[in-house]
Amino acid sequence: MRILIAAFLSMSLTAAPALAKPPLRDVAAIDNALFDLGIADRIRKNCPVISARMFKAIGYVRNLEKKARDMGYTQVEIDAYTDSDVEKDRLRAKAAVFFRARGVDTSDPQSYCALGLQEIQKSSRIGSLLRAK
**pTM of the full structure:** 0.83
Residue 100 falls inside a structural domain: yes
Residue 5 falls inside a structural domain: no
Domain coverage including residue 48:
22-132
Residue 13 falls inside a structural domain: no
Whether 25 contacts 80, CB under 8 Å: no
> What does each of the 133 residues of the chain score in pLDDT, given as a tens digit?
444 344 444 444 444 444 689 999 999 999 999 999 999 999 999 999 999 999 999 999 999 999 999 999 999 999 999 999 999 999 999 999 999 999 999 999 999 999 999 999 999 999 999 999 9
Beta-carbon contacts of 93 under 8 Å, excluding residues fewer than 6 positions away, are none
State how far the alpha carbon of 115 is from the alpha carbons of 17, 80, 91, 101, 102, in Å. 43, 31, 18, 11, 7
Residue 2 falls inside a structural domain: no
pLDDT of residue 20: 85
Give the chain's domain count: 1
pLDDT of residue 61: 95
- End-to-end CA distance of the chain, in Å? 73
Residue 48 falls inside a structural domain: yes
pLDDT of residue 39: 98
Q: Using alpha carbons only, how large is the chain's radius of gyration in Å?
A: 20
Residue 15 falls inside a structural domain: no
Residue 10 falls inside a structural domain: no
Residue 34 falls inside a structural domain: yes
Whether 80 contacts 88, CB under 8 Å: no
pLDDT of residue 19: 62
